[in-house]
Amino acid sequence: MMQGLPLDLIGWVFAVTLQMATPLVLAGLGGMYSERGGVVNIGLEGMMLMGAFTAAAVTYYTLNPWLGILAAVAAGGGLAAVHAIVCVKFKGNHIVSGTGIILFGAGFTTLMLEVVWHRKGYGETITNTIPDIVIEPIQNIPLIGQAFGVISPIVIFMFVATILSWYILFKTPFGLRLRAAGEDPSTLDSAGVSVEWTRAIGVIISGCLAGLGGAYLSIGFGSAFGKNMTDGRGFIALAAMIFGNWSPFGILIAGLFFGFLDGLNYAIQIYFPALLPYANFIAMLPYLLVVVALGVIRRSIPPKGIAIPYEKERKA
Amino acid sequence: MNASELSDAQKSGIGQRIENWILGLAKKVTDPSYRKQFIWSFASIVLALLVSSLIMLIAGYDPGLAYVYLAIGAFSRMDLVLYYATPLILTGLSVALAFKCGLFNIGAEGQLYIGSMAAALMGYLIALPIVIHPLACLAIGAIAGGLWGFVPGLLKAYRGAHEVVTTMMLSYTAILLTGWLVSSNGPFWDGSMVPRTPPLLDTALLPPLWGYSLHTGLILSIIAVFAVDFLINRTVLGYEMRAVGLNPDAAEYGGINSKRNIAIAMGLSGGLSGLAGSEEIMGTYGKFVANWSPGLGWDGITVAVLGNNSPWGVLAAAIFFGGLRAGGNTMHQVVGVPIEMVSVIQGLVVLFVAAPRIINWLVDNGNTIFKSMKEDPFEPSINLVSSILGLAILMLGLGMITSLYSLPSFTWINAATALVYVLVAILGVMIFIVYWSKRPDAGWFMLLAAVLWTIAGVLEIIGAGMSALTSFILAIFTFVLWLADRLIGRLLVTKKEDDIE
């Protein structure tokens, strides 16, 4: 192999890390909005699938990937709205409802895959995917050039969304209300703000972000919709959220780390075939790390009012 | 029947005991809370089927025909129904048992994989005589699955790690781990192209019972229902688990070691899932194949939720879902609806069961509408007609979208029309909700619907669609209903003012 390989390789892993981290961070941030507001959202997987499918289908019909993105965000948000109605309005069990969302999302997208493309497994390849942005000045710098020189706008949006989420959550009245809805809903209620609406908006934002994350899989990074193409990423996003302690920058770091493990897996497959037998173990790492983090280190503290439906006190 | 009578009866002969059991069952069935639960579950299924038929409409299938063949398929192949139900009973029991102790075992899938792996190893590596071999395989499968569930149980009990997260993560770990074990790099690969173990020895297989696929595992599953029922309702351990499930702090105060119970409950729950996996490997697959499970653990959650976490409820729910699967095959073959429709139905059932208040809301508002109908039929009948119209608008809006599929080319105008129809369908739901709950400001939704139908009609004419006329007729109809609503509202207000005067 060539001399320059290590630097190239590192740059390549860097680029793959960013690509793999994007759906995780976006969905993880989504999960954060929901859980900060006090609604457990294990249905991220279903919402991502919904986003991935809708993005692919709409782009396939309209040949415009931006419409696809828009539709994916709407579809994710729509499925999340169902979760919000069940959990917030009708005070259902969050985890049961989330399971329903996962089942429904997986079933519905596979069903519609057959309806739209008349085949099983994988839809037709989409030619008009989201175009990458080429940043000329840094393209030839080693390391950075590979990762940031040619970059998908959704990857850039991931960073923007992280900063924006931090700002929204900690610097705006809405963020304060959302956190209050998760920590101490009765206080929020006595301040005259509707707990139900605050929570519902949090859940819907979570669905929109998860939908966007799914859209990146089907028309950003990939170029077709496949059956169950999220492949557990919704759960890894959930893990990233827990690992990142329900905070935007924590989720970014955790998501990048899990993305890096994914990138490492690819690097092994291409550059170090000798290590290939152990690829499954690297894939296992994020899951095991969460178990260890929760079980042994115990530093994650979810919002206090999580999963508890808020019942307004009756007027006497 | 009071307590002393009951204990006397229990002492006497076996006939008396059966009679008591039937009496107890009858008492349970007629119990109002039990009946309410049954109605909830049943109504959830009906609602899920209704919503699924809407989805079939969007997808361009005939829901009526599909359901007819679903039913035919399920009732003509009872052996297949029971075959599909066999593992679901066990995974359902697994989730239900954990839930009785207040735990949500979402990782039944992983425990199933670990259990089936262990059973497969026992089945092909070790030679044992004919009856002992399957029993040993089942035992080892249950133990392995149990250990995989015991770990999150321990972490929950002693470290406070939330079991939903840990079981879910361990579930993916299990799938990857077993996948590696049987892959070409793993120790238990059979050397073929497929990642799988060598076939189990003949002595380890579960003998067939009836039909093509039904195996003796069914008997085991039904025994498990009895056993779990006995465990939960008749033993000290079960009593303690239920106490912990209701309120861990109170149970602790009452002298029950909640931590120990939590760990044991998770272990037992994992054991049941492991048993389900072993049974499938030994009865159906004959070898462990990577990623073999079609989501049996996930379906277990559905089954437990629909069965309200009671063993007998789980049995009924598992047979119901087995029927869906078996009938789904026929539906797929005859009507061409993809088999995934079944998971859509399952997901919707779970969503409706999650929130029994949706059903309460429907029933309560329906009751008030029909009650006020007797006093003054005018206003409630407008509400009733309008909410039915809302549903009709939903159906028609979705049906219209499918009519757009058949157009030769997909243009911008058609996309816009489709969008308008989606909006109309959403509006239809809103109209139903608003009128069914008798909101005062309901009229504007009707007007908006009329406007949207008109827009849709205009778009259909521009885009050379086929259903412009339908859209205009509906626009006029909704507009007339809006007018009627307004006028009647006005009349009622003046009437009330007259009354006051």
ipTM of this predicted complex? 0.87
Does pLDDT of B270 surpass 90?
yes
Dist CA A299 CA A295 (whole Å): 9
Closest CA to B137 of B235, B36, B276, B282: B282
Answer whether residue A103 is part of any domain: yes
Q: Which residues contact B301 (CB under 8 A, 6 or more apart)?
A: A96, A99, B95, B106, B108, B350
Answer whether residue B232 is part of any domain: yes
Total number of domains constituting chain A: 1
Predicted confidence at residue A78, as pLDDT, reads 92
Dist CA B433 CA A231 (whole Å): 36
- Return the residue of B nearest to A118 by Cα: B338
Q: Which residues contact A18 (CB under 8 A, 6 or more apart)?
A: A147, A151, A155, A256, A259
Cβ contact, residue pair A284, B106, below 8 Å: no
Does pLDDT of B116 surpass 90?
yes
Strand-pair partners of B196:
B289
pLDDT digits over B293-348, tens only? 888 888 898 899 888 888 998 999 999 999 998 998 888 888 888 888 888 998 99
Answer whether residue B61 is part of any domain: no
Predicted confidence at residue B317, as pLDDT, reads 92
Give the pLDDT band (50/70/90) at residue A2. very low
Angle made by CA atoms B92, A106, A307, in degrees to the nearest 5: 60
Answer whether residue A306 is part of any domain: no
Give A111's contacts in chain B (Cβ within 8 Å): 55, 59, 338, 340-341, 344
Does pLDDT of A3 surpass 50?
no
Q: Are residues B199 and B277 in the same domain?
A: yes
Q: Are residues B281 and B186 in the same domain?
A: yes
Cβ contact, residue pair B172, A238, below 8 Å: no
Mutation target among B52, B162, B172 for the A interface, most CBs of A within 10 A: B172
Eight-class DSSP state of B410: -
Answer whether residue B153 is part of any domain: yes
Name residue, tokens 């070409």: B184
Q: What integer is the mean pLDDT of A34-55?
A: 92
Answer with the one of B320, B344, B367 that is the final residue of a domain.
B320
Predicted confidence at residue A316, as pLDDT, reads 43
> Residue A206 carries which side chain, given as an amino acid letter?
S
Q: Which residue did the predictor score with more confidence, B452 or B376?
A: B452
Answer whether residue B279 is part of any domain: yes
What average pLDDT is seen over chain B? 83
Answer whether residue B397 is part of any domain: yes
B415 close to A (CB below 8 A): yes
B342 close to A (CB below 8 A): yes
Does pLDDT of A11 surpass 70?
yes
Residues of chain B with pLDDT > 90: what percent? 19
Answer with the one of B261, B294, B320 that is the final residue of a domain.
B320
pLDDT digits over B388-407, tens only? 888 888 888 877 777 766 66
Does pLDDT of A15 surpass 80?
yes
Dist CA A226 CA A53 (whole Å): 8
Q: What integer is the mean pLDDT of B225-231?
A: 92
Of A40, A100, A283, the CB nearest to B351: A100
Element (H, E) at A151: strand A150-151
Does pLDDT of B487 surpass 90?
no
Cβ contact, residue pair A276, B185, below 8 Å: yes
Q: What integer is the mean pLDDT of B203-221?
A: 83
Dist CA A284 CA B496 (whole Å): 70
Closest CA to B269 of B117, B95, B102: B95
Answer whether residue A308 is part of any domain: no
Q: What integer is the mean pLDDT of B408-426?
A: 77
Compute and round to an integer the Cα radius of gyration of chain B.
Answer: 28
Give the pLDDT band (50/70/90) at residue A1. very low
Predicted confidence at residue B440, as pLDDT, reads 63
Give the pLDDT band (50/70/90) at residue B12. low
Cβ contact, residue pair B350, A277, below 8 Å: no
Element (H, E) at B209: strand B208-210
Q: Are residues B403 and B309 in the same domain?
A: no
Total number of domains constituting chain B: 2
Predicted confidence at residue B9, as pLDDT, reads 47
pLDDT digits over A163-208, tens only? 999 999 999 999 999 999 988 888 888 888 888 899 999 999 999 9
Instruction: Choose from B13-27, B180-194, B331-345 the range with maximum mean pLDDT.
Output: B331-345
Give the pLDDT band (50/70/90) at residue B11. low
Q: Which residue did the predictor score with more confidence, A110 or A243?
A: A110
Cβ contact, residue pair A277, B185, below 8 Å: yes
**First and final C-alpha spacing in chain B:** 60
Answer whether residue A252 is part of any domain: yes
Dist CA B116 CA B148 (whole Å): 12
Q: Are residues B248 and B386 in the same domain?
A: no
Closest CA to B308 of B81, B27, B45: B45
Predicted confidence at residue B98, as pLDDT, reads 92
Answer whether residue B390 is part of any domain: yes
Does pLDDT of A96 surpass 70?
yes
Does pLDDT of B8 surpass 60?
no
Q: How many residues are present in chain A?
A: 316
Answer whether residue B57 is part of any domain: no
Q: How far B156 CA sits from the closest chain A CA (Å)?
A: 8
Enumerate residues 2 to 41 of chain B having a beta carbon within 8 A of any beta carbon in chain A: none
Q: What is the CATH number of the domain that holds A131?
A: 1.10.3470
Predicted confidence at residue B500, as pLDDT, reads 64
Q: Which residue did the predictor score with more confidence, A198 or B203?
A: A198
Q: Which residues contact B181 (CB under 8 A, 6 or more apart)?
A: B117, B187, B188
Answer whether residue A258 is part of any domain: yes
Q: What integer is the mean pLDDT of B17-45?
A: 79
Give B354's contacts in chain A (Cβ within 8 Å): 86-87, 92-93, 96-97, 100
A292 close to B (CB below 8 A): no
Dist CA A210 CA A22 (whole Å): 11
Predicted confidence at residue B410, as pLDDT, reads 64
Domain range for A132 is 11-297
Does pLDDT of B92 surpass 50?
yes
Answer whether residue A77 is part of any domain: yes
Answer whether residue B213 is part of any domain: yes
pTM metric for this prediction: 0.85
Predicted confidence at residue A313, as pLDDT, reads 64
Q: Which residues contact B473 (CB under 8 A, 6 or more apart)?
A: none
Domain range for B242 is 83-320
What average pLDDT is seen over chain A? 85
Q: What integer is the mean pLDDT of B362-385?
A: 78
B348 close to A (CB below 8 A): yes
Predicted confidence at residue A134, as pLDDT, reads 81
Does pLDDT of B123 surpass 80?
yes
Enumerate residues 133 to 192 of chain A having a beta carbon within 8 A of any beta carbon in chain B: none
pLDDT digits over B54-65, tens only? 888 878 788 888
Q: How far A273 CA sits from the closest chain B CA (Å)?
A: 12
Eight-class DSSP state of B211: T
Q: Are residues B251 and B392 in the same domain?
A: no
Q: Are residues B121 and B221 in the same domain?
A: yes
Answer whether residue A95 is part of any domain: yes
Q: How far A107 CA sits from the closest chain B CA (Å)?
A: 5
